[in-house]
Amino acid sequence: MHRFTRIDEGDTQRYQDVAAGLAEADVVVSVMDAELVFWAVRAEVPVLFFDSLLSFWSTERTIEDLAARAQLVRWSDDETARFVFDMLTPHERILVAHLLATRSYAQNFPGVPARIDSLTRAGASHLQLCGPIVDRDALESALSAPPPDDPPDLLINLGGFQNFFLDYESHNAYLDLLRRWVTELATAQPELRRILVCCGAFREPVTETHGDVRIEYTMLPHKDFLRHLAHAPLYAVPPSLTSLHEAVILRRLPLLLPEQHYGHVTNLRSLRGTAIADHAASLIDLGTRFEVPEDDLGGTRALDRLTRELLADEAEYRSFADYLSKRLADYRQLTDEERAAAVDELGELLDGPTPAGLLEHIGDRLVPTGRTS
């Protein structure tokens, strides 16, 4: 097991919180933290940048424009560099971080190879495609471990759920919507003896019994969750990239649940034409009013509002619940051969060199981009 020798809490937007670490670092590793890349580049410390969402980041600027701004960040005085960086949107800062990093790595997904090509043409020849950025040791352990003592008939994974807008207390209509549907599902389908619903919102476990069906809402340690997933006959999850990568490695085809946030909208759109997308449940199928703004924050806010409206209108909710139950029924009818073929199809879209393999001989190539040794 790998352990950190020291953990320091801090905010990477504040230079004073990272200055000491930069002063003693041989190399900086940043996982989708553009601020940390900024400080590392300004301090002339080699930096490795990992990004699991490269095709998602949006910008109205050309890549050439972003590349020019990256050069200003690298070579200008401190005040100018900070000003140029701060004028970028959060999505643009991630793209500029790729241009600034000594080496950067992007997890594969439809649209990522094309984005890598455009960044490479703008000067980011150090950017490499990689396969799943996941805990492979934990996944391999899950595959070799015996099944849980009481495996669920249906495993539902709602992820961490929280982001820059969604939370557990107020912007949480999606959780209420799914809980109501799961309760009705347990009553209507008693053959689902045990339904396990995992989410960061359920840190305090709750167990409900509806007829002969037990529903458990909980948050499992990741390794325990993966062991349940490895042996789950039925698995449902929103279109989260990490969840997709884990499911493919464990050879489990998920039913994709409706979108929680705007990122899920773009993920599902990128999978259009695949078997997993053909069987997915999407709010868009319920009508054009469920189309959301093409914006991370705006789209997420709209989804939260729309799910809240579904809960408030009984007729609208019934339409949603019947639709989702039909999607689950169709998913359950898939043969083992159809599931395996769908997993293989998705696996080809997500495949790539392992991060560990790419990093194996990195030590002799850690010359900061744009400089010579």
pLDDT of res. 184: 98
pLDDT of res. 53: 97
pLDDT of res. 7: 84
Architecture of domain 142-349: 3-Layer(aba) Sandwich (3.40)
In the chain, alpha helices (H):
15-24, 34-42, 63-75, 78-86, 90-100, 112-121, 136-144, 173-188, 222-230, 241-249, 262-270, 275-278, 296-312, 314-332, 336-350, 355-359
Those residues of the chain that have pLDDT short of 50 are 1, 370-373
Q: How far apart are CA 26 and CA 45, in angstroms?
A: 7
The domain limits of the chain are 15-131+353-365, 142-349
pLDDT of res. 367: 58
Assign residue 251 a region: left if phi > 0, alpha if psi is -120 to 50, beta otherwise?
left
pLDDT of res. 363: 67
Contact between residue 193 and residue 213 where contact means Cβ atoms under 8 Å apart: yes
Q: How far apart are CA 258 and CA 237, in angstroms?
A: 9
**Could you tell me the CA-to-CA distances from 313 to 98, 106, 217, 269, 276 in Å, in that order?**
45, 42, 25, 27, 30
DSSP annotation of 294 reads S
- Give the closest residue to 99 by CA, choosing from 65, 56, 131: 65
Q: How far apart are CA 316 and CA 307, in angstroms?
A: 10
112-164 per-position pLDDT tens digit: 999 999 999 998 999 999 999 999 999 999 999 999 999 999 999 999 888 88
Measured in Å, how far apart are the chain's first and last C-alpha atoms?
Answer: 35
pLDDT of res. 218: 98
174-207 per-position pLDDT tens digit: 999 999 999 999 999 999 999 999 999 999 999 9
Beta bridge partners of 28: 47
